[in-house]
A and B are shown apart, each in its own frame.
Chain A
Amino acid sequence: MSHLRVELRQRAEELIALYPRPRSAMLPLLHLAQEQDGYLSEAGIEEVAQLTGTTPADVRGTAAFYDMYHLEPVGKYVVGVCTNIACLLAGGIELLEHASSTLRCAVGETSDDGLFTLEETECLADCDFAPCVQVNHRFVRTTTAATFDALVSDLREGKRENEIPSHGTLIRVRRNGGLRAQKNDVNTERTDAKAARDQRAEEKA
């Protein structure tokens, strides 16, 4: 039985089909599992292990290498404030401290109402809007305490749901139908090319 919802399970299978080897779909699949549960639940990990032909320990260990995967439940909004060099020079640490008091949670923790998790991030590559803030990996470009607070009250009131969807970076990423048929052609051609290559190599030897 699938832990992933039908729609996600189908997307998972589509993703696997894109790669020459199932394990290659590990990172996108983990994004999907997180999209469903908000974090990587044991059931989600087990399903990814099964889909990629690996083991739960392997999947968990792989996921734990990457900062974007949460092995514990997190808030509805994960707020990341960058304090790396460009943001540091623009007051990133101060903004992070401010965020902590506005959100009423310590860095790395989740607010009591389960709405926010606050993270100190490394450079998010938006340094012309330093200090840089992301919510659920959407750049929000609130660089001052005041704009930050405005954002937070919007989020509390559910005003930015469209702009900032809940977890899952791939939530709006879909490969169009119809392309997978073409993909098969490409696959065949690739196999042919490889066979020809192997043959050439054999002839040479």
Chain B
Amino acid sequence: MTDVKTTVTISVNGRSVEAAPGELVIEAAERAGNYIPRFCYHPRMEPVGFCRMCLVEVDGPRGATLQPACYIKVSDGMSVVTDSDKVKKAQDGVLEFLLANHPLDCPVCDKGGECPLQDQTLAHGSGETRFIEEKRHFVKPIEIGELVLLDRERCIQCARCTRFSSDVSGDTQIAFSGRGDLIEVAPSPTVPFDSTFSGNTVQICPVGALTAKPYRFSARPWDLEQVESTCTTCSVGCRVAVQSSGNRLTRVLGVDSEPVNHGWLCDKGRFTLDSIDGNQDSLDPLSVLARIREPLIREKGVLTPTTWGTALARAATILQDAAQAPDGVGAIGGAALTNEGAFAWERFVRGVLGSNHLDAQFGDGLNGGLLQALPKATIDDAARARVVVTMTGDLREELPVLFLRLRENFVKRQNALVEFSFGASALRSMATVSLPVRPGEAHVLAEALTSNGSMPKGSTIPEADLARARQLLGDTGDGVVFVVGRPNLAEDAGVLERAIRIVAERFPAATFLPALRRSNVVGALDMGLGPQLRPGRGYAGGEDGRDTLAQLAALRSGEQSAVLLLGCLLGNVLDVEGAKAALEAAQVVVVTGHGGKTLAYADVVLPAAVQHERLGTVTNIEGRVSAVAPKIVPPGSAWTDVAIASELAEQCGQNLGLTSVEQTAKVIEETTGYPALSVLIDVSDEGALVGRPAQRVERKALDPMAFPGIRSTNTVGLGELSGALVEENVVSSTPPATAVLSDVAAGRSVEVPPFDAYALALDVSHRLYDHGVAVQGSPALKNLVAKSTAYLNHFDLDRMGLVTGDVVDVMALKGSISLPVTLSDDTPRGAFGIVFGSLDDEGDDGAARFLFDPASAVTHVRLESR
């Protein structure tokens, strides 16, 4: 573009200020050091100009008039006055009006001490009230959802929460109701405010009107301490402020990170903290509610507390004995570790045990080599892409904040979305084209999309839709981002892997954003926790090792006799019986912070620190390495993984050369060039992208009006870290070789059984609220777990004469179970949708597991109505 002006000049209180065209006056003035008071304005939402607190004088055709600075855009030559008597009187007037009906209950209000209204009042208020009328009265707090309470008296009608609900999360579960000074925020009585994102409204409420049930009255702002960290509840890697009172976690707030979360969080990440320190009283180690506080060994069949020395010795014996036999030992898990923890365990398994059998994924992800070989997209890339193609499950359920980031642009800029749709998707209404894929057919459809193949037989996709999708992808896939995950757990990973290869080869200019969902799974793979993978995002083609499913098979057959579990296993696999049989047959050492049924098979349990208790780095889906910081100390005598791995190596007579987390980070970076210590030291807030030049992103100064409750940012405690390390410079070394697509073996060819007119193909998808630790350990979240039901397309329901609510018998290999059915046209015809971890009336979550046939690439089931 030629001579388009990139800046305009305005005058603020007589001083001239450069601003970007289209910038809001409130932002331009703030950058120039003139902070304009505000309430309704939030930098991450469209302005509405409701509260009128930001009125300033703007010169216009009719002379200087009072205008809302949050709404007016700069224009060249504009003159703005923010400090005249007229402005002051207007702003004071607004503040007085806001306080007229606002209760004076600051001492008992949750927001007291961190309340924007309180702060403004102290800064500007006159201190006395002229309002002698009776204040507006509402019945005290009402529960508007499972997690959120509303105190209508305190509401100042800024519409931040309602705008968030309709514009950002898009589900509009709360809205303004009433008119004039009777306006209130209200949900529908029939649909409670249970949005995946409800907690954000609490965070951005500028008064104490919305409060979070879990946090309410739990602490006062002034006895809170805070660190900035990264949420590892899923793999989006949202930046968070973690707060505690003493050694008790009290609150997690979203920090405004430009490349990642824009200040938002999902409710799971926000409210999961109870699972960390809320339930330490549950002492049964077989319960997911339990924290493991001390080492345990099996004595006479019973798990018994013991000392670290005894437990480590026992673990070392088990693992070393098994390692005597070729391929006798391996490790499963590790996605919840920090990079440093993962690195230490990789050194232990490959270096000390000499085993190549290790895998951070539980058979529910995608091939690590393939992922490494794909050209990468960042979250920003995906949000700005000309075309996004999703080959994933419902992103709102799997990677909620990624959903928000993508949605924003679909709504605003109308970039195109092509959905490979496997089932329900909250993005559906925004899709340009949605191509329903039946289980086992993703690769056929991919082939059809590349124009090389024809449509799956019996497909109901209109030719025009396919043509539209092809047209959007263009010739080379330029400007296209594929988001790839694992939508159906009951389908062999090979199906989607083949589909991915097909599009990657056909569209060389396209880039890929992996949508693996489990916390630090990308970091764990990057640290080499996968067959053929090597620390520093390296690849050792040719070599072979067992992935999780192969190890479980080897354990069952006796080829492998022991396994090191880095985290609990059983809650994460579909083939529970197969996994139980494997563990039954093996010697099992588990390193974990949380209890679980897996421990029934453990011979040794080593207690580890978990999220919010440990220092380190993690890598999100886009390959962004950022710091996690400890806020509380772990319970009992739990250690960090680096310490456990090192001590275990010691017991085996070897030295990992890792003495602390910081030093491990240094070793990672020095030996592989992978960002680690530099991220901890520099705490360049937005971390570093693997494989891209380091770039420091200046963060905007924290605006307490936009992010009330956050004390400050950039405070990961590297200042408190061992000084010596920080002094030392990190010497970068050459990174290891990374996989390219042609290196990566095509993988097992998958035999997909042909579609059977009488059977339905099982589709098991993830929901955010499941039976996992994060949800079950949190009293706030566990009521939100979905009820077990089977989702069917209306075509299939009609064919069988069924309606929503009917209970059917579902026949599978192992026998039959009964389940209610629900109509969902999101489910492709011929598919039988079940939610992983949903609960039936007995509180059991076994339906998907019972039906799943691990021997087949696709599981077929038959229905019999009663």
Q: A residues engaging B (CB < 8 A)?
A: 42, 45-46, 54-62, 64-65
Contacts and interface: CB of A to CB of B under 8 A. Distances in A.
Interface stretch (B186-194, B240-248, B432-440, B807-815): B186-194
A98 B365 CA distance: 75
B177 A58 contact: no
B191 A61 contact: no
Most buried by A among B171, B174, B188, B193: B188
Contacts of A64: 177-179, 186
B175 interface: yes
Interface in B164-185: 165-166, 171-179
Contacts of B172: 54-55, 57-58
29 contacts: A42-B188, A42-B190, A45-B188, A55-B172, A55-B173, A56-B188, A56-B190, A57-B165, A57-B172, A57-B173, A57-B174, A57-B186, A57-B188, A57-B191, A58-B172, A58-B175, A59-B188, A60-B175, A60-B177, A60-B186, A60-B188, A61-B175, A61-B176, A61-B177, A61-B186, A64-B178, A64-B179, A64-B186, A65-B179
Contacts of A55: 171-173, 175, 188, 191
Interface string B182-211: 000011111101000000000000000000
A57 B162 CA distance: 10
A56 B191 CA distance: 7
Contacts of B178: 64-65
Interface in B636-654: none
Interface of B: 162, 165-166, 171-179, 186-191, 193
Contacts, number: 47
Contacts of B175: 55, 57-58, 60-62
Most buried by A among B173, B175, B189, B191: B175
B187 A57 contact: yes
A46 B190 contact: yes
Contacts of A54: 172
A58 B177 CA distance: 9
Q: Which 6 A-B residue pairs are closest in the complex by CB-CB distance? A: A61-B175, A56-B188, A64-B177, A57-B188, A55-B172, A61-B177
Most buried by B among A42, A54, A55, A65: A55
A46 B162 CA distance: 19
A57 B172 CA distance: 7
Contacts of B171: 55
A62 B172 CA distance: 12
A42 B192 CA distance: 13
Interface of chain A: mostly helix, strand, loop or mixed: helix
A65 B177 CA distance: 6
A71 to B, nearest CB: 9
Contacts of B173: 55, 57
Nearest to B190: A42
A159 to B, nearest CB: 36
A70 to B, nearest CB: 13
Contacts of A58: 166, 172, 175
A134 B507 CA distance: 69
Nearest to B175: A61
A42 B186 contact: no
Contacts of B188: 42, 45, 55-57, 59-60
Contacts of A62: 175
Contacts of B177: 60-61, 64-65
B348 to A, nearest CB: 52
A45 B189 CA distance: 11
A64 B165 CA distance: 18
A46 B189 CA distance: 11
Contacts of A59: 188
Most buried by B among A46, A57, A58, A62: A57
Contacts of A45: 188
Contact of A42 (B162, B165, B174, B189): B189
Nearest to B144: A57
A137 B69 CA distance: 43
A46 B177 CA distance: 16
A30 to B, nearest CB: 14
Contacts of A61: 162, 175-177, 186
A135 to B, nearest CB: 24
A61 B173 CA distance: 10
Nearest to B170: A55
A42 B190 CA distance: 7
Nearest to A66: B179
Contacts of A46: 190
A54 B190 CA distance: 14
A59 B173 CA distance: 10
Nearest to B174: A57
Contacts of B162: 61
A4 B166 CA distance: 27
Nearest to B171: A55
Contacts of B193: 57
A59 B187 CA distance: 10
A60 B176 CA distance: 9
Contacts of B187: 57
Contacts of B191: 55-57
B414 to A, nearest CB: 16
A110 B462 CA distance: 56
Contacts of B186: 57, 60-61, 64
Nearest to B182: A64
A58 B170 CA distance: 11
A17 to B, nearest CB: 21
A58 B162 CA distance: 10
A42 B187 CA distance: 12
A125 B175 CA distance: 31
B159 to A, nearest CB: 11
A74 to B, nearest CB: 17
A205 to B, nearest CB: 13
B158 to A, nearest CB: 16
Nearest to A67: B179
Nearest to A1: B803
Contacts of B176: 61, 65
A128 B176 CA distance: 36
A46 B173 CA distance: 13
Contacts of B166: 58
Nearest to B803: A1
A54 B175 CA distance: 11
B642 to A, nearest CB: 48
B823 to A, nearest CB: 12
Contacts of B190: 42, 46, 56
A63 to B, nearest CB: 8
Contacts of A57: 165, 172-175, 186-188, 191, 193
B135 to A, nearest CB: 21
Nearest to B173: A57
A64 B180 CA distance: 11
A61 B172 CA distance: 10
A167 B165 CA distance: 33
A143 to B, nearest CB: 29
A179 to B, nearest CB: 31
Nearest to B193: A57
B6 to A, nearest CB: 20
A55 B188 CA distance: 9
A56 B186 CA distance: 11
A64 B189 CA distance: 14
A56 B173 CA distance: 8
Given A42-B188, A55-B171, A60-B188, 20 more contacts: A42-B189, A46-B190, A55-B173, A55-B188, A56-B188, A56-B191, A57-B165, A57-B173, A57-B186, A58-B172, A58-B175, A59-B188, A60-B177, A60-B186, A61-B162, A61-B186, A62-B175, A64-B179, A64-B186, A65-B177
Most buried by A among B165, B171, B172, B179: B172
Most buried by B among A46, A56, A61, A62: A61
A203 B172 CA distance: 40
Contacts of B179: 64-65
B183 to A, nearest CB: 9
